[in-house]
Amino acid sequence: MFDTLQERLSGILDKLTGRGALSEADVDTAMREVRRALLEADVALDVVRGFIDKVKERAVGAEVVKSVTPGQMVVKIVHDAMVEILGSEGSALNLRASPPVPILMVGLQGSGKTTTTAKIAKRLQEREKRKVLMASLDTRRPAAQEQLAILGTQTGVETLPIIKGQTPIEIAKRAMSEARRGGFDVVMLDTAGRLHIDEELLAEAAAVRDIAKPNETLLVADALTGQDAVNLAKSFDEKIGITGIVLTRIDGDGRGGAALSMRGVTGKPIKLMGTGEKLDGLEDFHPQRIAGRILGMGDVVSLVEKA
């Protein structure tokens, strides 16, 4: 749908400039296109601004190596800066604590918390041989607790028995004591979806956090999120305190700018990506892949790397 940044930059830059170092004027022209490309990829405006400043500083005066065009050079600089912000590969879940290790899942309505809870539990149980207990603290959405129970059956992960009428706080306490009693390694707490401006429900999540004292509090967010990504990530981090982000619906064809927005604004690592509805649709985060996707580009990076 969009022509790639690469094409646009070749259009404007490669005509203007000969070889040698990138001039300030060249870089300014290029940055207008970079800005546009990032906004079209749903990177939040404030994050775009900071990013452009950073890239500009690096690009002005950069020597253009012989085998590439100035456009490719700029794309490479942009790409590298983006990967830097997105963080390094495979920032694994931190399970270093005496068991049961609690993991708290939070996020907006419908972002994929329950599904991701089951995916992570399945992975920990199958790959890392941990004994996992899942508990749904979602007493609000119709059939939310049943959903997790079914996913437990599908994955062979135990779920905390449902007791109707209990509050999320009561369920959290019961989950912790059951996990201790049952000798579980990990206890996953799935919560109801909540808006990042819903003070009452944020306070409830904070209360759950204080009871469970989670090792990880993961913000589950949709990779298709637009400009609101910064608001939601900032609020969840401020009000509950997140340790990482899981980006769902990476299997969609969204450009994924929300990754840069949320990472940029919270500094918290993106730990995992959801890549499907099925319960094996979970992958480690690949900053290179996401950077390439945000920029809508193919193999420019490897091209420049070989040069």
Ligand X SMILES: Nc1nc2c(ncn2[C@@H]2O[C@H](COP(=O)(O)OP(=O)(O)OP(=O)(O)O)[C@@H](O)[C@H]2O)c(=O)[nH]1
- Using CA atoms, how far residue 14 sits from 5, 30, 62, 210, 251, in Å, is 13, 10, 15, 57, 34
Number of residues located near another protein, criterion CB under 8 A: 45
Residues 259 and 295: their CA atoms lie apart, in Å, by 12
Helix 257-266 to helix 229-239 angle, to the nearest 10 degrees? 40
| Interface residue with ligand X, options 71, 152, 168, 193 (CB under 6 A) | 193
Q: Which region among 50-58, 96-104, 208-216, 245-253 touches another protein (by CB under 8 A)?
A: 245-253
The answer to the question of residue 140 lying near another protein (CB under 8 A) is yes
**C-beta nearest to ligand X: residue:** 193
Which residues, 6+ apart, have CB-to-CB distance to 160 below 8 Å?
133, 134, 135, 136, 171, 174, 175, 178
Closest CA to 272 of 59, 64, 51, 122: 122
Which residues, 6+ apart, have CB-to-CB distance to 47 below 8 Å?
230, 260, 261, 264, 265
Task: State in Å, rounded, how far the first CA of the chain is from the last one.
Answer: 30
Of 101 and 272, nearer to ligand X (C-beta) is 272
Residues 172 and 265: their CA atoms lie apart, in Å, by 29
Site string for another protein, 203-242 (x = CB under 8 A): -------------------x-xxxxx--xx----------
Residues 115 and 103: their CA atoms lie apart, in Å, by 14
The answer to the question of residue 246 lying near another protein (CB under 8 A) is no
Of 88 and 153, nearer to another protein (C-beta) is 153
Site string for Mg ion, 96-115 (x = CB under 5 A): -----------------xx-
Minimum distance, C-beta of residue 115 to Mg ion, in the bound complex (Å):
8
Minimum distance, C-beta of residue 95 to another protein, in the bound complex (Å):
25
Scan residues 64-103 and list those touching another protein (CB under 8 A).
none
The answer to the question of residue 147 lying near another protein (CB under 8 A) is yes
Minimum distance, C-beta of residue 227 to another protein, in the bound complex (Å):
5
What the block records as the tokens of 159 is 């779920």
The answer to the question of residue 256 lying near ligand X (CB under 6 A) is no
The answer to the question of residue 141 lying near another protein (CB under 8 A) is yes
Residue type, 291: A
The answer to the question of residue 282 lying near another protein (CB under 8 A) is no
Residues 6 and 226: their CA atoms lie apart, in Å, by 23
Q: Are 218 and 103 in contact (CB under 8 A)?
A: yes
> What is the contact surface with Mg ion in residues (CB under 5 A)?
113-114
Q: Kindly list the residues in this chain that would bind ligand X in the complex (CB under 6 A).
A: 107, 109-115, 138, 141, 144, 192-193, 195, 248-249, 251, 274-277, 281
List residues near another protein by CB under 8 A. Answer: 1, 36, 39-42, 44-45, 108-112, 140-144, 146-151, 154, 195-197, 222, 224-228, 231-232, 249, 251-255, 257-258, 277
